[in-house]
Amino acid sequence: MSVSILKILTHTPIWAFVVFAWLMFIGIRSMRNREIRLSSLLLSPATFLLFYVYNLSKSDNFSLSLFSGALVFFSIIITYLLQNKLVIQNKDKQFIRKGSYSTLICGMITFFVRYFCEYKKATVGDAYPMLELISSAVIGGFCAGRNLKFFIQVKRLN
């Protein structure tokens, strides 16, 4: 049962390409140092944690849900402890955040896991809720831990 990449791509909805392009744009933009407002710190962890909550709501396995909750917690802690200094300048309440590949990597992992799971669901009828739940838990925790570290460093500067 060989399925060509061209066949998969031609049956992909247009909105999936738009989401992919948007994630690439945001990820590439975040590789450079940039000014950031504290209010925008809530956007990426909220987005990835919403994916987690959505996937959690689809799960009927209590032990898997508990395990994924622990993954969120531990990925926040580990990311917070391993993250280097994120704030490189404080100038007139404008904070410069170091550029990194992490937003691009998180966005692409989330996109491809969701794309794979939706493809499998559409073609075989088999979904991978555990894969979706675990990936969204780890990435949501990573984003939350990274932004928690940034927020604490900014507060120490004030």
Q: Tell me what pLDDT residue 28 has.
A: 92
Residue 158: pLDDT band (50, 70, 90) is low
Cβ(51)–Cβ(134) below 8 Å: no
Q: Sign of dihedral through CA atoms 80, 83, 93, 37?
A: negative
Rounded average pLDDT over 43-72: 79
Q: Tell me what pLDDT residue 59 has.
A: 75
Q: Sign of dihedral through CA atoms 41, 91, 102, 104?
A: positive
Q: Tell me what pLDDT residue 148 has.
A: 82
Gap between the Cα atoms of 38 and 158, Å rounded: 13
Q: Tell me what pLDDT residue 82 has.
A: 80
87 backbone dihedrals φ, ψ, rounded to 5°: -95, 125
Q: 36 lies in which domain range?
A: 5-157
Q: How many residues does the chain have?
A: 158
pTM over 0.75: no
Gap between the Cα atoms of 114 and 86, Å rounded: 29
How high is the mean pLDDT of the chain?
80
The 10s digit of each residue's pLDDT in 98-136 is: 788 888 888 888 888 888 888 888 888 767 777 888 888
Q: Tell me what pLDDT residue 72 has.
A: 86
Give the total number of structural domains in the chain. 1
Residue 1: pLDDT band (50, 70, 90) is very low
Rounded average pLDDT over 53-67: 80
pLDDT at position 142 over 60: yes
